Amino acid sequence: MTESLAVAIRQAIQSNPYLHGKQLTFHFEGDRLVLHGRVYSYFQKQMAQEAVRRVEGAPRIDNQLEVVRHDPERLVSSSDTLWADATSPAR
């Protein structure tokens, strides 16, 4: 997939008011886009998928977002796996 498509997808996610402040990431795997991260409701999970789906040229979406209870301690647990955005350079 192209860098311009990745930028458009990232902007669509970041500009969605229902996803404000969520640390969602994605990567391309073959002919599909895989979404990762945590949201607090199935509604937010669907809104993320719809935001991506509306981007022209977006591939098939594999929505792997996890719906979790709003528990700040759980969300910053050191045992949680951290996901890197595969489209961003390593830091």
Mean pLDDT confidence for 72-77: 50
DSSP output for the chain: --HHHHHHHHHHHHT-GGGTT---EEEEETTEEEEE-EESSHHHHHHHHHHHHTSTT--EEEE-PEE----HHHHT-TTSPP---TTSPP-
Q: List, in order of start, the domains of the chain with CATH numbers.
A: 3-75 (3.30.1340.30)
pTM flag (> 0.75): no
What pLDDT digit, counting tens, does each position of 7-41 carry? 999 999 999 999 988 889 999 999 999 999 999 99
Q: Residue 46: pLDDT above 50?
A: yes
What confidence score (pLDDT) does residue 2 get?
A: 82
Mean per-residue pLDDT over the chain, rounded: 82
